[in-house]
Homo-oligomer: A and B are copies of this chain.
């Protein structure tokens, strides 16, 4: 089944302890789309300025991603993010954010997008996520991401959103912030009680936790020694997860767990190089191979 994603499309500048890259392809909807494209057809909605290199659009199209919903604002500048990773490659400092065209982004989804059954509301303001949701009344599985900024600045909208979506993906510190709870098992269930049928807490290099009414589980990250750039890992995780669900056209408990494992594995590739560089070099077969190793790792 086709999968719609709405979120940021960006040019990132990333500094790690040993390297740097300037103005590389990034953004939540981009990482999500590319990750999901290994499983299903993806329709991306977002906004860029006319400084956006058309080769980026071509790259997405080459993976079968529908970019009809990518608005180009004449005279506008693309959203830019600059960040620096600390020695541990987990903590990062945001050095600069230029919202640019994201400031006025008012998503109007093409008709083909509005009829989709699978919808992901990637990182963006909660108000914007609600606007998108209103345009897709027939979606059967809606998942969303959020972040500390929206938890702090749009708490009412967020609580409205949580009652209208099926699944929320957020990271450990955001789950603690949203609930005021330090124990992640308690926090996960507390978020679930705010509305969504299931909640996924991303723990970066430590994997991810899943919470539904009757299930609580944790899957570890795939242990890669080659972490080059963690940017986009969380969005790739969500893309891999929801891409698999859309491919299977199913979201029963068994499929959700398989999907979470695929999300973890796609993210493990993403971090092995800057931007989409590593994902560009893999095929579905390599994902399947790593999945076999991962399953073997968890079997005893």
In the complex, the chain B residue whose C-beta lies closest to that of A257 is B300
Of the listed stretches A29-37, A38-46, A93-101, A223-231, chain B binds A223-231
**Docked complex: A222-277 residues within 8 A CB-CB of B:** 223-225, 227, 254, 257-258, 261
- Residues of A whose CB lies within 8 Å of any CB of B are 87-89, 182-186, 189, 203, 205-207, 209, 216-221, 223-225, 227, 254, 257-258, 261, 295, 297-300
Q: How far is the CA of A297 from the CA of B89 in the complex (A)?
A: 28
Q: In the complex, what residue of chain B is closest to A261 when comparing beta carbons?
A: B300
Known A218-B220, A297-B217; judge A206-B203 contact (CB<8 A): yes
- Measured between C-beta atoms, what is the minimum distance from A41 to chain B in Å? 25
Q: What are the residues of chain B within 8 A of A217 when measuring CB–CB?
A: 223, 297-298
Q: Are A183 and B89 in contact (CB under 8 A)?
A: yes
**CB-CB nearest in chain B for A217:** B297
Given contacts A89-B183, A182-B89, A257-B300, contact A220 B205 (CB under 8 A): no
Given A183-B225, A209-B223, 13 more contacts at CB 8 Å?
A87-B182, A89-B183, A184-B205, A185-B223, A185-B224, A189-B225, A217-B223, A217-B298, A218-B220, A218-B223, A254-B300, A258-B300, A261-B300
Contacts of A88 in B (CB 8 A): 182
A88 to B224 Cα, complex, angstroms: 27
* Chain B residues within an 8 Å CB radius of A297: 217-218
Closest to A260 in B: B300
Which residues of chain B have C-beta atoms less than 8 A from A205's C-beta?
184
CA distance A183 to B300 in the complex (A): 25
Give the residues in chain B near A298, CB-CB below 8 Å.
217, 219, 298-299
Pick the most buried of A87, A227, A300: most chain B CB atoms within 10 A of its CB.
A300
Q: Is the CB of B186 within 8 A of A225?
A: yes
The residues of B that contact A218 with a CB separation of less than 8 Å are 207, 220-221, 223, 297
For A185, the chain B residues whose CB sits under 8 A away are 223-225
Chain B residues with CB below 8 A from A220, complex form: 206-207, 218-220
- Complex CA distance for A67 and B87, rounded to whole angstroms: 46
Query: Could you pull out 16 A-B pairs where Cβ atoms are within 8 angstroms?
Result: A87-B182, A88-B182, A184-B205, A184-B223, A185-B223, A185-B224, A185-B225, A206-B206, A209-B223, A217-B223, A217-B298, A218-B223, A218-B297, A219-B220, A254-B300, A298-B298
CA of A209 to CA of B258, assembled, Å? 22
In the bound assembly, the distance between CA atoms of A89 and B187 in angstroms comes to: 14
**Complex: chain B residue closest to A90, CB-CB:** B182
Closest 9 A-B residue pairs measured CB to CB?
A: A206-B206, A185-B225, A257-B300, A218-B220, A298-B298, A217-B297, A220-B220, A185-B223, A88-B182
Report the separation of the CA atoms of residues A205 and B186 in the bound assembly, to the nearest whole angstrom.
Answer: 13
Chain B residue numbers with a CB within 8 Å of A254 are: 300
Write out the residue numbers on chain B whose beta carbons fall within 8 Å of the beta carbon of A261: 300
